[in-house]
Structure 1
Amino acid sequence: METDGELPVTILSGSLGAGKTTLLNHLLSNAGDRTLAVLVNDMGEVNVDAELVAEGSELELDDGVAELSNGCICCELQDDLETAVVRLARDRSFDHLIVESSGISEPAPVARLFTTESRVAALYDVDTLVTVLDTPAFLEAFAGEGTPQRRGTEDDRPLSDLLVEQVEVSNVVLLNKADLCTDAELEEATELVNALQPDAETIRTEFAAVDPDQLLGAGLFDPSRVNDLPGWKRALEAADDDHGHETTATHDEHRHGGDTHHDEHHGHHHPDEVYGVTSFVYRRRRPFHPDRFAAFLEDLPPAIVRAKGTAWIADNDMRVAIAQAGPSIRATAQGPWIASLPEIERDMYRSNRPDLEWHDEHGDRRTELVFIGTDYDESALRSALEDALVTDEEWYASLEGPFPDEQNADVVVREP
C-alpha cells in the first residue's frame, strides 16, 4: 500500500518453469488504470507478450528498459538491484513496481533491500511477497525420490530447499498448474504451504490467472515480521508460550557426574487443525552422539515436511544448524558456543545478551529442534532422538562424525 509518496513493490519468486513469466504477462494485460514497472533478472529468460510491446514483436531494450504498449515498462537487471530501482524511481513514471527475483534465488534478500535504511527504502514500500509454485513439481520435491537439483548456481541444493525458503517468507502463494492436479493433491499442497507459512494466502491458479488486486495494492507485507514468519519459528514461540501443549510426560531425569539434569520442556503445537499439520519442539541439554544423530536424520520419515533448529553435537564446539526440507538435510556450523570461548570473551558476550538462557554447567549449549509434518509418529521420533544422545560414558569421549566443526562450514547430511 502506497504511503507518503513511496512506490509500492510486489516481489515475485518461484522456481524455473513455475509460471512467473505467465503471471507477469497476465498482470500486464490486466493492469487496468495502473502503470506498472517490471524488473526482471534476465531478459533472455523472459518472453513478454508481443502485443504488450510498443513496437514490433521483439522486445527492444533502450539501456535495459522497454516501453510497453499499455504504458508500462519492462527492464532488464543489468546493474545491481539497488542502482536499478533508484534509477527507475528517478527516471520513470509508474504506479507500482514488480520485481521478479531469479528462479534460483530467495525473495527475502530482495525484500530486505526495500525495508532497510537505504536510499531504496526511502523511495519504495514493499506491498506483497508472492511465490508462484509449479504445484505438481512442488509435491514431487517432497516425495523423497528423484528431487531435481536447482540449476544455474554453484550452490547445488535440491529444489525442495529453495521452495521452502520461497514459501516461508510469502504473503501469497499461487498453486499454479492446478489443472494438472487432483483435488487430493491440491489439498496436500495447501497443507504443505500452511505448515511452512501459516499466514500465507493460497490461491489455486491455471496459467497464473489471478485477480491483480490480490497481488497489487494488497498491503500484506509487514516489515516488522519479515524474519518471524516461518512456521518453524511459530512452533518455537508456541512451545515457549503455550504450556498447555507441552508433553510433560517425557520429562525424564538423566544423571551425569553425580548431578541430576531435567529435560527442558518438549513443546507440541497444532498450527492449523483444519489441515492436520502439527509440530513439536525437542529441547535437550545433553549432546548428540554425532554418528547416531546423523543416522537419525538420514532416517527421518517423509511425513516430516520441515525440521529446523540448532543441535549440540558431542566433542564439537560449534553450534550446528540443522535445516531439512523434504528429502534434503544440511548441517551448517554457525559459530562457537559462547560457553566454549575464553572467559573474558564469554563474559563480554553474556553481558551483551542479558536474555540469553544460561545453564550453570553447560552454558548456552543445548539442542532446540522443530519438526513440522503430517501423520508422523511423534513418540517414535522422540524416542529415536533420546537414543541418539550420548551416554554418560560417552560424554567426554573423543567422537568423530559427519558434522562440520569450522565456522560457516556446510555439509549435506542426506541427499534426495
Structure 2
Amino acid sequence: MPISFNFGPENDPELLAQRPKTPVTLLAGFLGAGKTTLLTHLLDNKHGLRIGVVVNDLASVNIDSQLLRHDHGQHGQVEVAELQNGCVCCSSAEDLFSAVQTLVMRSKDHPFEHILVELSGVGDPQAIRDNWALAMECQLPAALLTCLARVITVVDASSFAHDWQDTRKALLRNEAVVHDSRQHPGRSQEMVGQLLANQVELADVLIVNKCDLASDNEPQSTLHVLQALNGTAEICQTHFGRAPAERLLPLVPFGLRPQEAGCEKGYSWTQTAREIQIRMPIEEHVKGKDIECVVRKRASTLGLKCREVVAGTLAGEVCGDAIFEIEGCPERQVLLCLEKKEPGMWNHLWKQSAPSCGHQHCNGHCLEEKLRRADEVKPKFQSFTFERRRPFSSKRLQRLLEQWQDALSSDCEVLDMGCCALKAVLRSKGFAWCDGEQVLHKHRWQSAGRCISCCSEDYWWHHLSEEQRRFRCGNPGAETEYRELQKKWHVDWGDCRLELVFIGAEMDQKTIVELLENCLLTTSEFEEFKEKTSRMKVPRSEFSIGKLFGKLEDNAQVSAEDADTQLLRSLGVGCSLREAAEFEAVD
C-alpha cells in the first residue's frame, strides 16, 4: 500500500489521534550480532500477543522474512512485511512507513499489540526516529496509529570490544559497507565507528549476546564500553538471544488489546468484530414471561422481573432491538445477541475507565518488571564538557586529531604533548567552530574508539539573513531548534560556539583541556577571523525557492527575492518569527 494522505473520513487525523497507539520496537545491532535470533525467540515466546514484524535486509533476497513467515506467519498471530535492497534509515524510509501502514490498516478491527522492526546491520535508530517525527508532522496514518516505544540494540559479546577499538574487521563483515569503502575507505571506517556508538547510545535495552562464545575477558570489556556510552539502558546478557519476551517488549497500551470474553457474577459474555453474546443461567422453572430484557443503542438490561443481573452502559453502539432466547436442557440459560453498529472489537463489554496503572494486563500479568542489570561492578566513568566562544585553528586541530589517532595505536612512551591522555577517551561528541574553508558552517565532532572525525554540516544560524532563517524554519523541528538557541545566544556570535562532551574512565581532564585550548585561535588570529567573516555572506542560492523548484522564467514580473519571500509567506514558513522579540543574548 503506497503512502497516502487520503484514507477517507473514518481515518481523519483527529479520530486516529484518539485511538490507542501500537508500540513499535526497533531491533538494532551490527551485522551478525544476533538480531534475527532474538526476534525469532521473541516470536516463539510472545504469550498470545498479536505481533506485526517488518524485516529490513540490504540483500536482494530477504531470507530472514521467508524464514519468519514460514515458522510463525502460518499461526495467525504474526504478520511479516519485508523490505529489501535499501536501508529504512535513508533510501527506503518511505517503504518502512508503507509496510507499517499496511500492517495497521489491515488489522484495524483487531490491531496488533506490538510491531517489531528489525533494522539492517547498518541501520541507525536515530534516522528512524527523525523519519517518524516527520511522519507525525505530516499526519501519516502509520505514524498516528503507532509510537516508537523502545529501541533494543544487540551487541556481540565476542567481537564488540574489538570492533570498537578497530573497525576494520567489522567493515569486512558487512558487504554493503565494503562496497562503499573501496571509494571512501577512511569515511567508511568512521561511519562504522559512529554507527556502533549511535546504536548503543540510543538503546533503551542492550542485549549482550553470544556470551557463550566470548572469552573470559570479552564480556567484561564489552560491558565496560557499553556502560560508558549508555549508563541508563538496561543490560541483559544472553546466548542464542534467549531473553524473556515479557521483559523486553513495552507495555501494551490500555484499550489496544480487546477482551474477547468475560465472566461476571450471574452471567458471561463473548464478542466478535460484529456481535456480542450474553448468557445468563436460569432455573428450570423460569419461563420467557419472567425474563426482563431492555436494549437501547448504548445500554442493556437483562434479568428476571424479580432481580436485575446484567445492566450498564455498553462500550459501543448496537443496532435496534435485540431478541433473546432460552436454550439448553437441563442447564438452561438465556442467550441475548447484540449486533454491533460498527464492526470492530470493543475493549470490554461495558464502558469503563482505564486501570490506574494506565496499561492493560496481559495474561493476568502487568508487564512492569524491568531487566536485570549485569552483576559486574560498574567501572568509574567520568565526563566533562569543553565550551568556548572562540573557534579552533583548523590546522592545529587537524594535527591534534592525527596525534590522537597515533596515541590509540602507539605506546605512551613515544608520544609528546601529553597525547597519551587522549587514550582514556572512549567517546566524544558535540559541535565545533572552526576557521578554514567552511568557516560559516557548524562542524560535527565525533569520536568512537579509533574513529575520529570533525566534518562540516549546516550553516550556523548566526550567519543567515532573516529571510534565510525563515526559510530554514520550514524544515521539521528547525523552528524549535532555533528558539531553543536563545538560551545560548551570544551577543556577538549568536550560536557559534565550541561545545564538546568527553566520556571515559580515569581521564586526565586538565591535560585534555590544555590540548584543546592549544588549538584555539590566538587573540591576533581571532581579530583577523572577525574581519574575514564580517565580509562573508551565505549565498542566497542556498535557501532559494528557485533551487527547490527550478529557476524563475526570464520574463517573470517579480524579482527572485520577492518571489521567494511571497511564496514562503504564503506557505506560512517562519510566520511566527516575524513578530518575535530579539533573543536575550549572553556574553
| Alignment TM-score, normalising by the size of structure 2 | 0.51
- The equivalent position to 1:88 in structure 2, one of 95, 103, 114, is 103
Is residue 382 of structure 2 the alignment partner of residue 278 of structure 1? yes
Kindly tell me: are residues 45 and 135 of structure 1, through their superposed partners in 2, closer, same or farther at Cα, counting changes over 3 Å? Answer: farther
> Residue 236 of structure 1 corresponds to which residue in structure 2?
none
Supply the distance in 2 between the matched residues of 1:71 and 1:294 (Cα, whole angstroms).
56
The 5 Å alignment of 1:246-265 reads none
Supply the distance in 1 between the matched residues of 2:202 and 2:246 (Cα, whole angstroms).
20
- Deviation digits for residues 8-56 of structure 1 (CA, Å, limit 9, x no counterpart): 22211111111011111111222221232221013835447969726xx
Using the TM superposition, name which of 328-337 and 205-214 deviates more.
328-337
User: CA shift at 1:332, angstroms?
Assistant: 2.6
User: CA shift at 1:111, angstroms?
Assistant: 3.7
- The equivalent position to 1:28 in structure 2, one of 43, 63, 68, is 43
Is residue 171 of structure 2 the alignment partner of residue 138 of structure 1? no
Residues 8 and 126 of structure 1 are in contact (CA less than 8 Å); yes or no, is this contact kept in structure 2? yes
> Residue 412 of structure 2 corresponds to which residue in structure 1?
none
Tell me the SS of whatever aligns to 2:208. Answer: strand
Please identify which structure carries the higher helix content.
2
Residues 433 and 498 of structure 2 are in contact (CA less than 8 Å); yes or no, is this contact kept in structure 1? yes
Is residue 207 of structure 2 the alignment partner of residue 207 of structure 1? no
> Residue 309 of structure 1 corresponds to which residue in structure 2?
430
What is the aligned residue count? 337
Residues 142 and 302 of structure 1 are in contact (CA less than 8 Å); yes or no, is this contact kept in structure 2? no
User: CA shift at 1:107, angstroms?
Assistant: 1.7
Is residue 154 of structure 2 the alignment partner of residue 124 of structure 1? no
- The equivalent position to 1:381 in structure 2, one of 508, 512, 515, is 512
The runs of 5 or more residues in structure 1 that have no matched partner are 55-65, 221-272, 399-404, 409-416
User: CA shift at 1:274, angstroms?
Assistant: 4.0
Is residue 118 of structure 2 the alignment partner of residue 103 of structure 1? no
Kindly tell me: are residues 127 and 51 of structure 1, through their superposed partners in 2, closer, same or farther at Cα, counting changes over 3 Å? Answer: closer
Supply the distance in 2 between the matched residues of 1:146 and 1:6 (Cα, whole angstroms).
41
Using the TM superposition, name which of 387-396 and 340-349 deviates more.
340-349
- Deviation digits for residues 149-206 of structure 1 (CA, Å, limit 9, x no counterpart): 2541557344221111111111101011112334543233223222222221111111
The 5 Å alignment of 1:115-194 reads 116=136, 117-144=139-166, 146=168, 148-149=170-171, 151-152=175-176, 154=180, 156=188, 157-182=190-215, 184-194=217-227
User: CA shift at 1:102, angstroms?
Assistant: 1.5
Kindly tell me: are residues 46 and 275 of structure 1, through their superposed partners in 2, closer, same or farther at Cα, counting changes over 3 Å? Answer: farther
Q: Give the residue type in structure 2 aligned to 1:28.
A: L
The runs of 5 or more residues in structure 2 that have no matched partner are 1-17, 85-93, 181-186, 254-376, 405-421, 474-478, 530-536, 543-587
Residues 147 and 158 of structure 1 are in contact (CA less than 8 Å); yes or no, is this contact kept in structure 2? no
Residues 53 and 69 of structure 1 are in contact (CA less than 8 Å); yes or no, is this contact kept in structure 2? no
Residues 26 and 151 of structure 2 are in contact (CA less than 8 Å); yes or no, is this contact kept in structure 1? yes
Q: Give the residue type in structure 2 aligned to 1:332.
A: C
Using the TM superposition, name which of 175-184 and 5-14 deviates more.
175-184
> Residue 223 of structure 1 corresponds to which residue in structure 2?
none
Kindly tell me: are residues 293 and 396 of structure 1, through their superposed partners in 2, closer, same or farther at Cα, counting changes over 3 Å? Answer: same
Kindly tell me: are residues 338 and 86 of structure 1, through their superposed partners in 2, closer, same or farther at Cα, counting changes over 3 Å? Answer: closer
Supply the distance in 2 between the matched residues of 1:186 and 1:294 (Cα, whole angstroms).
34
Supply the distance in 1 between the matched residues of 2:150 and 2:22 (Cα, whole angstroms).
12
The 5 Å alignment of 1:347-386 reads 353=483, 355-386=486-517
Supply the distance in 2 between the matched residues of 1:125 and 1:373 (Cα, whole angstroms).
33
Kindly tell me: are residues 197 and 36 of structure 1, through their superposed partners in 2, closer, same or farther at Cα, counting changes over 3 Å? Answer: same
Q: Give the residue type in structure 2 aligned to 1:130.
A: I
Tell me the SS of whatever aligns to 2:140. Answer: coil
Identity across matched positions, percent:
31
Supply the distance in 2 between the matched residues of 1:218 and 1:160 (Cα, whole angstroms).
32
Supply the distance in 1 between the matched residues of 2:511 and 2:470 (Cα, whole angstroms).
40
> Residue 55 of structure 2 corresponds to which residue in structure 1?
40
- Deviation digits for residues 224-269 of structure 1 (CA, Å, limit 9, x no counterpart): xxxxxxxxxxxxxxxxxxxxxxxxxxxxxxxxxxxxxxxxxxxxxx
- The equivalent position to 1:294 in structure 2, one of 369, 386, 398, is 398
Tell me the SS of whatever aligns to 2:495. Answer: coil
**Structure with bigger RCO (C-alpha 8 Å, 6+ apart):** 1
Is residue 450 of structure 2 the alignment partner of residue 327 of structure 1? yes
Residues 392 and 521 of structure 2 are in contact (CA less than 8 Å); yes or no, is this contact kept in structure 1? yes
User: CA shift at 1:314, angstroms?
Assistant: 2.6
Supply the distance in 2 between the matched residues of 1:344 and 1:29 (Cα, whole angstroms).
56
Supply the distance in 1 between the matched residues of 2:62 and 2:425 (Cα, whole angstroms).
34
- Deviation digits for residues 109-158 of structure 1 (CA, Å, limit 9, x no counterpart): 33455552431122223332101111232211222474532541557344
Kindly tell me: are residues 335 and 36 of structure 1, through their superposed partners in 2, closer, same or farther at Cα, counting changes over 3 Å? Answer: closer
- Deviation digits for residues 342-378 of structure 1 (CA, Å, limit 9, x no counterpart): 5886899999647243434444332111111113222
Tell me the SS of whatever aligns to 1:142. Answer: helix
Superposition CA RMSD, Å: 3.6
User: CA shift at 1:339, angstroms?
Assistant: 3.9
- The equivalent position to 1:318 in structure 2, one of 431, 437, 441, is 441
Residues 65 and 81 of structure 2 are in contact (CA less than 8 Å); yes or no, is this contact kept in structure 1? no
Residues 314 and 395 of structure 1 are in contact (CA less than 8 Å); yes or no, is this contact kept in structure 2? no
Kindly tell me: are residues 287 and 100 of structure 1, through their superposed partners in 2, closer, same or farther at Cα, counting changes over 3 Å? Answer: same
Residues 53 and 116 of structure 2 are in contact (CA less than 8 Å); yes or no, is this contact kept in structure 1? yes
Higher radius of gyration, 1 or 2: 2
> Residue 13 of structure 1 corresponds to which residue in structure 2?
28
Supply the distance in 2 between the matched residues of 1:85 and 1:349 (Cα, whole angstroms).
30
